[in-house]
Amino acid sequence: MKGLVQRVSRAGVEVKEREISRIDAGILLLLGVEQGDGQSEAKELCRKILTYRIFPDKAGRMNLSLLDVGGALLVVPQFTLAADTSSGTRPGFSRAATPEVAEGLYSYFLDLARASLGAERVAEGCFGAHMKVSLINDGPVTFMLSTR
C-alpha cells in the first residue's frame, strides 16, 4: 500500500463540478492499493501517516505529527500510484489491486483514520470517480510512504 502525503494549508475534491469534500490545514493523502495488500497494510500505513512528523515545532523543525497538531486528513483513492513505470512510455497497472479489493481497503483505511482522529477531521474523495483535486501544498512538503 502506498500513500503520497502532502502537508497542506487547504485541499478539496470536486466531482462533476461539485465540491464533495474540503479540509483546511492538515494532510492530503493520495492512497494507492496494490495486489497483496490487506488490512494489516492499511493499519500500518494509517499509523505511519497519522504519526509521521512533517509539521513544524516552535523551532521550525519538522517534529510534530498530524495527531500532535490536530490537523485534518483528506484521503483520495489513487490507483495510478500502483503503476509499473519501469519500462516504456505508458504505465502498466498490473500491480494495482482489483477495484473491489481496493475499495474495501480504502473504506477500511477511512474507518481507521476516523477512529483515531474523529470523523469530523477526516474527509474523503470518491472511489472510482473522475475527481478534480485542489491543494495548497504547505512548504512544499511531500513524502511517499509505503508498507513495502
Verify whether residue 78 is a known catalytic residue: yes
Verify whether residue 147 is a known catalytic residue: no
Buried residues in 87-111 as b, exposed as e (16+ CB within 10 A): eeeeeeeebbbeeebbebbbeebbe
- Name the catalytic one among 80, 85, 98, 143: 80
Residue 85, phi then psi, degrees to nearest 5: -115, 20
- SS3 breakdown of the chain: % helix, strand, coil, rounded to 5? 30, 40, 30
Verify whether residue 79 is a known catalytic residue: yes
- Name the catalytic one among 6, 55, 79, 109: 79
Name the grid cell of 54.
512533517
- Name the catalytic one among 6, 55, 78, 109: 78
3-class secondary structure, 26: strand
Strands annotated E in the chain: 2-15, 18-23, 26-32, 55-56, 62-64, 72-77, 122-124, 131-146
Query: Residues with catalytic annotation?
Result: 78-80
